[in-house]
Amino acid sequence: MKMIEQLLKNDISDLDDIKTLLEARNPADIDLIRLKARELLLMHCSDNVYFRGIVEFSNQCDCDCFYCGIRKSNHELKRYCLTSEEILDCARFCLEKGYGSMVLQSGERSDPEFIDFLVHIIIEIKKHTCSNTLREGLGITLSVGEQTKESYQRLFDAGAHRYLMRIETSNPDLFKQIHPAKQSFTKRIQCLEWIKEIGYQVGTGVMIGIPGQTTKMLAEDILFFKKMNVDMIGMGPFLIHKATPMKRFEEQVESSKEELFIQSLLMIAATRIVLKNVNIASTTALQAIKPDGREQGLEFGANVIMPVLTPLEYRRGYLLYEGKPCLDETASQCASCLERRILSIGRKVGYNQWGDSPHFKTKSTKN
Ligand code: 5AD
């Protein structure tokens, strides 16, 4: 107890100290870490929680990641891609609800038709969502994987201004174990560098509880976020999808859900404590373990929530892992239940704002 208390008095950036935070299991220690994360969040960001409506607009994917339910080799899945009109309906919904931003996420495709389609969508969303409150229209975040630098540039020029791409793990050997040989760690980093150079706000993150991952690796992940100087973080527990090669770890993962959950919350808190002014998402995967998982993520230092706006009829086609929540709730139902939960933990919703990462703003003023 004393040790964590002492540790939290200073700035933390040392690998062993981060590891100590991640290994805390005594409830009193965990409480101290949670309170420190909250204090730093309020000091460096605000008490606003920002909503990003996420549209999982296509499950077509050219990748074969060993953990992911929409991997190319999953032939049990019906593949879909929303029409522009369906995506625009989601954008209108965001505007109506006062969500300042939306996230467009899909499986990874990099053919020219796909990029052309996305460019068109981004332009249309911007055209339809400029209003008195949001003069530049909805903020648009992309999460469509590895692309060429030219494609990233085209998408940025069309109006997207944030990009999310998880490194999944910053440990190159572990990365290799969960991806086919042709997906490379160095390429992923190259893509993140391009995205940064172009001027996007950059988000990355990892899965927590990958078989073979140690707390030292997780502590290194946090130092990786720092070294990459990213603006946004999204992390969540690794969960099993039965139609993937990692199904073989099912028993191991099932029997350690409670541990996985606390490890995920501590990753959020430790990231807040070390990085301070980044935006951190409390991800849906947390809610897959506990019904109030996302609220708990907020209490441990996260400040972004991504309500799922994907039309109901497509949601079962976008199961990255099992137990994904909100399969039967409409976007409106999700929104009102989320707001209630946020108010219940003493925070508020940052309506009608992009809610950019304060970290990005400090970087921009330094340049
Ligand atoms: N468990 C947890 N997260 C997963 N993702 C994909 N598959 C799984 C899984 N089985 C996450 C990856 C990816 C994001 C879109 O979804 O981290 O980057």
What one-character-per-residue DSSP string does 42-106 give? HHHS-SEEEEEEEEEEE---S---TT-TT-TT-TTSPP-B--HHHHHHHHHHHHHHT--EEEEEE
Rg (CA), the chain: 19
Q: How many CA atoms lie within 13 A of 270 on its CB side?
A: 32
Residue 367 clears pLDDT 60, i.e. is over it: no
Which residue has the CA at smallest separation from atom 13 of ligand 1? 166
Q: Rounded to an integer, what is the distance from CA 288 to the centroid of its chain?
A: 14
| Ligand 1 atom at minimum distance from 207 CA | 17
Q: Which 8-state DSSP code applies to residue 141?
A: E
Q: Which of 68, 146, 165, 242 to mutate to test the pocket of ligand 1 (most atoms within 8 A of CB)?
A: 68
| The amino acid at 24 | A
| Ligand 1 atom at minimum distance from 143 CA | 15
Q: How many whole angstroms separate alpha carbon 272 and alpha carbon 110? A: 33
Residue 68 clears pLDDT 90, i.e. is over it: yes
Which residue has the CA at smallest separation from atom 2 of ligand 1? 238
* Cβ(90)–Cβ(128) below 8 Å: no
* Cβ(51)–Cβ(99) below 8 Å: yes
- Per-residue confidence band for 365, with pLDDT thresholds at 50, 70 and 90: low
CA of 238 from ligand 1 middle (Å) equals 7
Helix (H) or strand (E) holding 339: helix 331-344
pLDDT for the residue numbered 366: 59
Q: From residue 265, give the alpha-carbon distance in Å to each of 25, 118, 299, 344.
A: 12, 34, 9, 19
Q: Is the distance from the beta carbon of residue 206 to the nearest atom of ligand 1 less than 6 Å?
A: no
Q: Rounded to an integer, what is the distance from CA 314 to the centroid of its chain?
A: 20
Q: Comparing C-alpha atoms, which of 124, 142, 51 is closest to residue 83?
A: 124
Q: Which 8-state DSSP code applies to residue 138?
A: S
Residue 145 clears pLDDT 90, i.e. is over it: yes
> 61: which 2 tokens?
């994917």
The reported pTM is 0.96
CA of 67 from ligand 1 middle (Å) equals 7
pLDDT for the residue numbered 217: 98
Q: How many whole angstroms separate alpha carbon 328 and alpha carbon 281? A: 22
Q: Is the distance from the beta carbon of residue 168 to the nearest atom of ligand 1 less than 6 Å?
A: yes
Q: How many CA atoms lie within 13 A of 21 on its CB side?
A: 35
* Cβ(276)–Cβ(12) below 8 Å: no
pLDDT for the residue numbered 65: 98
Q: How many whole angstroms separate alpha carbon 119 and alpha carbon 159? A: 8
CA of 70 from ligand 1 middle (Å) equals 10
User: How confident is the model over 308-328, as a mean pLDDT?
Assistant: 90
pLDDT for the residue numbered 64: 98
pLDDT for the residue numbered 1: 47
State whether residue 140 is helix, strand or coil. Answer: strand
Tens digits of per-residue pLDDT, 1-14? Answer: 459 999 999 999 99
pLDDT for the residue numbered 88: 98
Q: Is the distance from the beta carbon of residue 36 to the nearest atom of ligand 1 less than 6 Å?
A: no
pLDDT for the residue numbered 328: 78
Q: Rounded to an integer, what is the distance from CA 133 to the centroid of its chain?
A: 26
Q: Comparing C-alpha atoms, which of 114, 174, 165, 120 is closest to residue 141?
A: 165
- Per-residue confidence band for 336, with pLDDT thresholds at 50, 70 and 90: confident
| Ligand 1 atom at minimum distance from 321 CA | 10
Q: How many whole angstroms separate alpha carbon 298 and alpha carbon 313? A: 29
User: How confident is the model over 172-179, as a mean pLDDT?
Assistant: 98
- Per-residue confidence band for 324, with pLDDT thresholds at 50, 70 and 90: confident
Residue with tokens 């389609």: 117
Q: Comparing C-alpha atoms, which of 154, 125, 118 is closest to residue 139?
A: 125
Give the lowest-confidence range in 101-115, 189-203, 229-243, 342-356.
342-356
Q: Residue 159 region, left (φ>0) first, then alpha (ψ -120 to 50), else beta?
A: left
Helix (H) or strand (E) holding 221: helix 215-228
pLDDT for the residue numbered 2: 59
Q: How many whole angstroms separate alpha carbon 339 and alpha carbon 337? A: 6
| Ligand 1 atom at minimum distance from 168 CA | 17
